[in-house]
Structure 1
Amino acid sequence: MKLGEGVEAAIHCAAMLAGVEGEATLSGAAMAEAFGLSPSYLLKHLNMLTAARVLESVPGPAGGYRLARPAERITLLDIVLAVEGKEPAFRCGEIRQRGPAKLDASAYVKPCGINVAMLKAERAYRAALAEAKLSDIVSDFMSGADPRSVAASCAFVERHQRLQKSSSTKQA
Structure 2
Amino acid sequence: MRSAVIAFAMLMATVLSANAQHLKTTTGHENNPYYSTTDTKPLKVSDAEWKKILSPALYATAREQATEQPFTGQYWDKTAKGTYYCAVCGNKLFRSDAKFASNCGWPSFYEAVRKNSVIYKDDDSHGMQRTEVICARCNSHLGHIFDDGPPPTFKRFCMNSISLDFQPDGLGK
Bigger radius of gyration among the two: 1
Bigger RCO of structures 1 and 2 (CA < 8 A, at least 6 apart): 1
TM over 0.5: no
Task: Give me the TM-score of the superposition, normalised by structure 2.
Answer: 0.22
Q: TM-score, normalised by structure 1?
A: 0.22
More strand by share: 2
